[in-house]
Structure 1
Amino acid sequence: MRRGSIWAPTLLLLLAYLVLHGASNVFYFESRAVVQSIGPAARHLKSSESLIALPVSESRPLRIFMYDLPSKFTYGVVERYLRSRGIARNDKRLRYPGTQHSAEWWLFYDLEQGEDRRLSDASVRVMNPQEADVFYVPFFSSLSLVVGNGKSEDDEDPYSDEDIQEELMAWLEEQESWKKNKGRDHVVICQDPNALKRLRDRLKNTVLLLSDFERFKPDQASLVKDVVLPYTHRIDSYFNENVTLDRDTLLFFMGNRYRKEGGKIRDQLFQVLDVEPDMVMKHGTQSREGRRLAKVGMQTSKFCLHPAGDTPSACRLFDAIVSVCVPVIVSDDIELPFEDELDYSEFAIFVPSINALEPGYLGSYLRSISPDLLKQKQQRLREVRKYFEYEEKGGAVEMIWLEVKKKLPFIRTMINRDKRLVERSSGNCSCICS
């Protein structure tokens, strides 16, 4: 991973800090959760139970205060998107367009519901900011990014994503909750890799919900403080339980062949794999017909190729997961959502780029995978599929809030450090700060 050498010592320092300074509030780290335990109770643990905690779902839910932003930052963005593309608004409630960056809609929509209709039991919305663990800023930043690309030249009131970002920041900086802790307990979503580009230096204290670190500076985003999101899959989920090993195609890929930056590997893979038997490599773009063809291809293939796009991640990985098509990931710098909970090697295959580009290598490797191992990976895909479904209770929305909850020890650490640190003459920051 591109940042691996930095974050290992960072996490060790954070753990040491919490252990040494947690006399009254002891935090136990376990592979599935970080849960707060009151000090005296911890002393009653048996020695064999030390450093073991109840799962997050069995502790109290994350308390979220969602800002009631002016509508121009939420539904107003949807309305401008529809106007810019000449799409008629034919119902009373504006509908968020289906895009791969729809997480911002589902988190907002979920928190708008009554508690009995929520998609997540891992969090509760509180109306009193004094009760909040975190403050959620529900700006539709990814949709706002693309609104301007579709505006007509004769629009009397042209839309500017940069201007609305500045307006959002001005609004936030007036809020007492923001001022209190310099935004450290705030959660901001920017799933598109170019979203909120103008504000990144001013939002670097916050917990960012994003899909990729590729276009962020190291002091703006990191695995330590931020949460990696899954893209919204664009094709329908495969619910047939009778997945057979005689799916016709060995490896399937359909997508844009020509991409920028790290995505240039796609064209090279086309050249190498297009001549392989029982492999399907199709150049295609996102459209209704394209999604239909991709659905058929993925649901009739054993393996689905996931090369890097313009950035290391793309929605195609999640299309493959919900299609029960074992992902073959050729993206050396990819970061994956919920990786503290999920072992992707159980249901995906990772191939270094240098090997994938060797003629004959990938086909030979995939054909060597035994039917039993393939069946195991397909079964595991069925089991993990729900965690990538935004519309499903206990799915992606719940997983995201669980991941945010695990950031609370770090948030508290940084807030407390801010209270005692003096102004430093240099711009350098200690490693746990980034």
Structure 2
Amino acid sequence: MTTTTFSDISIYCPPLQEPRVKCKMEKPIIGKCSDQHWFAILISFLLCFIFLCFDYSAFLGPNNGVASLVNKQANSLVIMKNKTKNLVSQNPSRDNTKEMKSNSDSCSGRYIYIHNLPSRFNYDLLKNCLSLTRGTDSNMCKYMVNLGLGPEIKDPDGVLSNKSWFSTNQFLLEVIFHNRMKKYECLTNDSSLASAIFVPFYAGLDVSLVLWNSNIKVRDSSGLDLVQWLVKKPQWKKMWGRDHFLVAGRISWDFRRQFGNESYWGSNFRFLPESYNMSMLSVESSAWKNDFAIPYPTNFHPSKDTEIYQWQSKIRGKTRKHLFTFAGAPRPELENSIRAKVIDQCRASSACKFIDCSSSGGNNCENPVNILRVFQSSVFCLQPPGDSYTRRSIFDSILSGCIPVFFHPGTAYSQYQWFLPKNRTKYSVYIPVRNVKEWDVNVEKVLLGISKEEESAMREEVIRLIPKIIYSDPRSKLESSEDAFDIAVKSVLERVEKVRNVIREGGDPSVGFADPDHYKYTFSDNYS
């Protein structure tokens, strides 16, 4: 379509009728025609000018005439330009720029392809849930309902709110994540379009079957079978697995047995050469660069944004009668555990509430309502390391608006970097423990030294973090809030894109995956 400009506008007058008296053209007309003929020509020009070029309504007012005609044509051109512009924007043609094409596809750069694994790597584990009880204190089958969220919590006392609360088992993160991924808005069946490849291997559930098996070949068999299956797929050869990622509901160390000795813990899955190229998201990461920590699943799985806002409003207005709280059990078998000292200090203080989660403590921790009720009435929640650096209690604490108190950087600061503020003082208290045997810090005195203004600011930051550390119900979708799943997926896509850029620029794509200097790196106890 040719665009017309104002320079293209011209006033068209039809040619004058030829005069009845013919004039010879060899010489100028003035020299040949009579005065009458010349007068007739002038009159004809005048009539053309008045009746043909002017709007005849010019005689009715000053706003008409030639100026009116030009304005009308100019306005018509502006309208035509706008219509053309709108038509192009609404119906982009094949000749449009690449930028217009990408803008029209909201999933550009976000497509994910899910491998269709043999059922032995995921669904069969759920069918055989009775065998998953080894190493846990309860039957895992009851937690499989509601797409892995577990049974709905009965709360007659109103400690919780609405119907978004479930008895969720902390080891079922990989099931919850997989069910969320099935509803992801940018899935594709064409792996060539995918920016990342998801491997729905229930690694945590699988390894839980064999962690206590003395035969290390049995412990390692599933991980080896998985990578052998993956490397045969065309999707693997695209980036040799560096665009692949999986999720585990157990800590990373359960998959990083460094030596071929049965006395060492775990499987060797993450030390397989092919596994080096994949990223793993787990509830606790290791020091290796291809591991990333994502939150433990809590009991709160909202289906609407309003349920999050209502909960935040509820806990914001809570009266907190306890200065600090600890929920847990001692770890006498762990020589360097600070648990015993924390429990002793809590029991000795009238400002502390202790919830005994040991088998002799009446199993008060089995019902999440018992934990959340106390956390909601506490200003600070103590989070010392247990069997590993991290605890699910961290996220129960945040969910309750209770400011977490950490004693080791590996409990949160070195872990959930996609989810928690880099400035740890905004949302938590840190009491370093450099030597457990010599540790003589009085927790109560430290917490009493925090001003009410600092306390209020930290609690507000904790409440603000709630959407980021929960997993919404897979059967619905939040409209405006980003939950832990959304943040994790976005971060994986950004990571894979960085690797692609390294490859495009001719760099080493193994950077950020295999880490030959991993033995030099540990979580520092002298974190400041």
**TM-score scaled by structure 2?**
0.58
1:318 Cα shift? 0.5
Question: Which residue in 2 is equivalent to 1:316?
Answer: 393
- Describe the SS at the equivalent of 1:171: helix
> Do the aligned partners of 1:263 and 1:309 also contact (CA within 8 Å) in 2?
no
Q: Is the 8 A contact 1:185 1:206 kept in 2?
A: yes
**CA positional deviation for 1:226:** 3.8
SS at match of 1:264: coil
How much does 1:96 deviate?
6.5
User: Within the alignment, does 1:204 sit opposite 2:284 as a pair?
Assistant: no
Instruction: Spell out the pairing of 1:212-361 with structure 2 (5 A cutoff).
Output: 212-214=284-286, 221-222=288-289, 225-234=290-299, 239-241=312-314, 243-244=316-317, 246-258=319-331, 264-285=337-358, 289-334=366-411, 335-339=414-418, 342-343=421-422, 344-354=424-434, 358-359=439-440, 361=442
Deviation at residue 113 of structure 1 after TM alignment = 2.2
Q: Where does residue 263 of structure 2 map in the other structure?
A: none
Match among 240, 244, 255 for residue 182 of structure 1: 240
**CA deviation map 1:408-429 (0-9, x unaligned):** 24422565688989xxxxx995
**Corresponding residue number in structure 1 for 2:121:** 73
How far has the Cα of 1:246 moved from its partner? 4.5
Q: In the alignment, is the contact (CA less than 8 A) between 1:262 and 1:311 conserved in 2?
A: no
Q: Give the whole-Å Cα distance in 1 for the aligned partners of 2:332 and 2:129.
A: 25
Number of the residue aligned with 1:134: 196
Q: What is the CA distance between 1:72 and its match in structure 2? A: 2.0
- Residue in 1 aligned with 2:459? 378
Cα deviation for residue 363 of structure 1 reads 0.7
Written as runs of structure 1 = structure 2, the 5 A alignment for 1:402-413 is: 402-412=490-500
Contact 1:79 1:94 in 2 (8 A): no
Give the distance between the partners of 1:378 and 1:319, measured in 2 at CA.
14
Distance 1:358 1:84, change over 3 A: closer
1:374 CA drift (Å) = 1.5
Aligned partners of 1:353 and 1:269: how far apart in 2?
Answer: 11
Return closer, same or farther for 1:209/1:200 CA change in 2, 3 Å cut-off.
Answer: same
The letter for the 1-side match of 2:282 is L
User: What is the Cα deviation at residue 161 of structure 1?
Assistant: 5.7
Question: Deviation of residue 354 (structure 1)?
Answer: 4.1
- Closer, same or farther: CA 177–133 of 1 in aligned 2, 3 Å: same
Unmatched segments (≥5 aa) in structure 2: 1-97, 100-105, 134-138, 151-167, 256-266, 302-307, 522-528
Q: 1:109 aligned to 2:174?
A: no
Deviation at 1:332, TM superposition (A): 3.1
For 2:320 and 2:143, locate their aligned partners in 1 and report how far apart those are by CA, in whole Å: 42
Identify the residue that residue 165 of structure 1 maps to in structure 2. 223
**CA shift for structure 1 position 322:** 0.3
> What SS does the corresponding residue of 1:241 show, helix, strand or coil?
helix
Q: Aligned-pair RMSD on alpha carbons? A: 3.9
Q: CA deviation at 1:352?
A: 0.7
SS at match of 2:383: strand
Q: AA paired with 2:229?
A: W
Report deviation, 1:99: 2.0
Per-residue Cα deviation, 1:366-412 (whole angstroms, up to 9, x for no partner): 11222222222222222110101111632011010121122124422
Change over 3 Å in CA distance of 1:430–1:294 after alignment to 2: closer
Post-superposition shift, 1:172? 1.2
Residues of 2 paired with 1:191 and 1:128: CA distance? Answer: 28
Distance in structure 2 (CA, Å) of the matches to 1:245 and 1:420: 53
Distance 2:334 2:271 in 1: 23
- Tell me how far apart the structure 1 counterparts of residues 396 and 254 of structure 2 sit (CA, whole Å): 22
Work out whether residues 84 and 150 of structure 1, in 8 Å CA contact, stay in contact via their aligned partners in 2: no
Report the Cα distance in structure 2 between the residues aligned to 1:272 and 1:141, rounded to whole angstroms. Answer: 38
Per-residue deviation, 1:232: 1.1
In 2, Cα distance between the equivalents of 1:129 and 1:373? 50
2:127 match: secondary structure:
helix
Counterparts of 2:207 and 2:229, CA distance in 1? 19
Number of residues of Structure 1 aligned to a counterpart in Structure 2? 350
Alignment correspondent of 2:41? none
- Deviation, 1:168, is 1.6
Deviations 1:158-189 (A, max 9, x none): xx664332322221121122133221111122
Question: Residue by residue, what CA displacement relative to the aligned partner does 1:106-152 show, whole Å, maximum 9, x if unpaired?
Answer: 3211221273xxxxxxxx2111111111111011111222245799x
Using the alignment, how far apart are the partners of 2:507 and 2:110 within structure 1?
24
Q: Write the letter of the residue equivalent to 2:491.
A: E
Alignment-derived partner of residue 44 in structure 1: none
Summarize deviations over 1:207-237 as a string: whole Å, max 9, x none. Answer: 12123334xxx5xx22xx4432111125799
Whichever residue aligns with residue 282 of structure 1, its letter is I
Q: Following the alignment from structure 1 to structure 2, what is the Cα–Cα distance between the partners of residues 90 and 399?
A: 25
Structure 1 residues 24-173: aligned runs within 5 Å: 60-82=108-130, 85=133, 95=148, 98-113=168-183, 115=185, 124-147=186-209, 162-173=220-231
Q: Which amino acid aligns with 1:361?
A: N
Cα distance in 2, alignment partners of residues 92 and 252 from structure 1: 32
Code of the residue aligned with 2:416 in structure 1: it is P
**Secondary structure at 2:113 match in 1:** strand
CA contact (8 A) 2:365 2:371 kept: no
Contact 2:383 2:405 in 1 (8 A): yes
Which is richer in strand? 1
| Conserved? CA contact 2:380–2:405, under 8 Å | yes
Q: Does 64-73 or 357-366 show the bigger shift?
A: 357-366
CA contact (8 A) 2:197 2:243 kept: yes
Taking every aligned residue pair, what percent have the same amino acid on both sides? 18
Q: TM-score under structure 1 normalisation?
A: 0.69
Deviation at 1:205, TM superposition (A): 1.5
Distance 1:296 1:147 in 2: 34
Return the letter of the residue paired with 1:305.
L
Question: Quick check: 2:198–2:245 contact (8 Å CA) kept in 1?
Answer: yes
CA distance in 1, matches of 2:397, 2:364: 17
Could you tell me how far 1:245 is from its partner in structure 2?
Answer: 7.3
* Cα gap change, 1:89 to 1:106, in 2 (>3 Å): closer
Q: Which residue of 2 aligns with 1:8?
A: none
